[in-house]
Structure 1
Amino acid sequence: MTERDVLDPERWRWRRLWRFGVGFVWLELQSLVFAIAIFAALAITSVVELPIPRYDALLLFALLLTVVLWATGWETTREVGVILAFHLIGLGLELFKVSVGSWVYPDEAWSKVGGVPLYSGFMYAAVGSYIVQAWRRFDLRVTGFRLWPMTLLAVAAYANFFTHHWIPDLRWLIAAGFLIELRGTLVHFTVREPRYRMPLVLSFLAIGLALWFAENAATLLGAWAYPDQLVAWTMVHVGKVGSWSLLVSLSFVIVAALKHLEGVLDGREDDKPSVVVTRRRERAQRRAEARREREDQGPESGQEQGSQDRSLET
């Protein structure tokens, strides 16, 4: 079956959009089980009086949720390991940001370390859970994705969340690097039976936007608070969309590394790469052919040169 481009205007006809939308939303909801459960816990604990501090209850719930999803097979053991990695990476960021006053956790709890409740890492873990679940349920693949350049950019994006407090903020330079590196990268996925493709950078922006909406909901529910939200809640600045998109890049690279080991990173046989990638491959092939020709001609050229030298000696 021919692969379909999500950005093709033909896809935006009402009947096709409806069929695609229903299937897409259903798979998204399945992929978001962990995140939806965490938000449900935030909502319930914001209105229900508990016998223990709220943040401690959220930590216990998140731990129980992880065990249940693993025991029921919803998350594999390897996926739980990825989620743990996200928890630790997120917790490290939280400890630093709270220490410099970027945001605060106003409620008291036994499970707070350095002003950060340990449940907070599970909000980052929810992002990791979504990506690994979506990868499996959408049969996701990527073409034109180079793991090492993306890893370097993702690490730089994560480091910038720390370093911009002392040196100039490099997020726009790093974002430009992502745009250049991802200019030919496509993500391929299945909804119902048809296969679709779209630019990976657009996926990063879409997830970043969704996380910005989630951040507004989370701060409204008192998950944490920015300094300007301590007196009365206000909407999170829209500039955070870019920050979340950069953070998503790190999340995606971690999962991509796992999928590379599992052999399910690169596109399937019927996943057509972008024109940029096709041209890149053609140039690489021409260079390889030219190199082989030089190698094949090398010994003959050497023999001819040796014969000429012996003739001169004679």
Structure 2
Amino acid sequence: MPKVAAHPELLPLLDRHLIDRPTDLQRRGIERFVVELLYFGLKEARACLFAGLFFLAVFLVPRTGIVGVPRYDLLLIIALTIQVWMIWAKLETLDELKAISIFHLVGFALEVFKTSGNIQSWSYPDFAYTKLFGVPLFSGFMYAAVGSYIIQAWRLFDLRVKHHPPYWMAGLMALAIYANFFTHHYTGDYRWYIAACTLGLYARATIIFRPYDHDRKMPLLLAFVLIGFFIWLAENISTFFGVWRYPNQLGAWSTVHIGKWSSWCLLVIMTFTIVANLKHIKRSIHVPD
């Protein structure tokens, strides 16, 4: 990956501080643990910049909108503003924006299908001028937020992947994951078969990351599960605020079914596969012969 020192003008001061290796490497014991935990938290918060700002708007914008502008329309304006700002501030590159746009498109297509009259997996009950096929355009940014997080985390944690499966295999698995979101309404739900194949495909894959100055390791599958869990938590908060509703939440709010966690884990794998094909990220991925 390109070194920050080679392009100091591209990153704000905070990013340079988080990415550069610290000069003081003498910390030991509990002090090291606290410092690493602090930097891990800071990097995670920074990686969630788009998602954090977007979902903050979700929570703060009232359901009735502001000065006559419907809530869903305001959320679209806010999401576009955040995205433009991140490009202007060079927090994301144009290549990364292209990948994020793919997440937006595939997410919006999924939303249109899931909210259609024949499926009705969930719904967007409020009025908006920027609804297309009954789905507010801002909804695609919820999927783009996951892609933005992975892209930012890759840079901030200097992520590297060992024993990544061949790209064509990972690509086929991502297509199977996405297709199953549609086909399981008409055929069997093959989610767990796909998950079993994914376990075998990524069983050896290890992600290497740097919270502070030392490299740490984690099974890539565990990372998928953890990210999926936190998205599931965010989904619970969003449905609580009525941004969208599942059929069982129309009368009174209840927690999102725990089974959605597995769906989000699979979606994270699909998103990760797209990000892994970015040119500057491919250089940090090891695919065994």
Both structures adopt the same fold (TM-score exceeding 0.5):
yes
Distance, in Å, in 2 between the alignment partners of 1:263 and 1:153 is: 18
1:217 matched to which residue of 2? 237
Deviation at 1:14, TM superposition (A): 5.5
2:146 matched to which residue of 1? 127
* 1:255 counterpart = 2:271: no
Task: Write the letter of the residue equivalent to 1:43.
Answer: F
Question: Of residues 159, 181, 184 in structure 1, which corresponds to 2:204?
Answer: 184
Question: Of residues 58, 80, 86 in structure 2, which corresponds to 1:42?
Answer: 58
2:159 matched to which residue of 1? 140
Distance, in Å, in 2 between the alignment partners of 1:262 and 1:203 is: 17
2:44 matched to which residue of 1? 28
Task: Show structure 1 runs of 4+ deviating over 6 A.
Answer: none
Deviation at 1:79, TM superposition (A): 1.2
Distance, in Å, in 2 between the alignment partners of 1:236 and 1:123 is: 16
Task: Write the letter of the residue equivalent to 1:224.
Answer: W
2:77 matched to which residue of 1? 60
The structure having more radius of gyration, on CA atoms, is 1
Deviation at 1:82, TM superposition (A): 1.2
CA deviations on 1:175-207 (whole Å, 9 max, x unpaired) are: 000111111100011111100111000000000
Distance, in Å, in 2 between the alignment partners of 1:124 and 1:49 is: 23
Deviation at 1:263, TM superposition (A): 4.2
Deviation at 1:17, TM superposition (A): 4.0
CA deviations on 1:61-112 (whole Å, 9 max, x unpaired) are: 1111111111011111111111111100100000000011000000001111
SS of the residue corresponding to residue 18 of structure 1 reads helix
Task: Write the letter of the residue equivalent to 1:61.
Answer: I
Superposed CA RMSD in Å reads 1.7
Distance, in Å, in 1 between the alignment partners of 2:144 and 2:127 is: 22
Question: Of residues 92, 97, 104 in structure 1, which corresponds to 2:109?
Answer: 92
Deviation at 1:46, TM superposition (A): 2.7
Change (3 A) 1:14 1:244: farther
Deviation at 1:48, TM superposition (A): 7.2
Task: Write the letter of the residue equivalent to 1:36.
Answer: G
Distance, in Å, in 1 between the alignment partners of 2:65 and 2:181 is: 35
2:254 matched to which residue of 1? 234
Give the TM-score taking structure 2 as reference length.
0.85
Deviation at 1:262, TM superposition (A): 5.0
SS of the residue corresponding to residue 115 of structure 2 reads helix
The size of the alignment, in residue pairs, is 257
* 1:72 counterpart = 2:89: yes
Distance, in Å, in 2 between the alignment partners of 1:245 and 1:230 is: 25
Distance, in Å, in 2 between the alignment partners of 1:164 and 1:17 is: 45
Contact 2:103–2:140 (CA under 8 A) maintained in structure 1: yes
Task: Write the letter of the residue equivalent to 1:170.
Answer: Y
Q: Percent sequence identity over matched residues?
A: 46
Contact 2:63–2:71 (CA under 8 A) maintained in structure 1: no
Contact 1:256–1:265 (CA under 8 A) maintained in structure 2: no
1:105 matched to which residue of 2? 124
Task: Write the letter of the residue equivalent to 1:131.
Answer: I
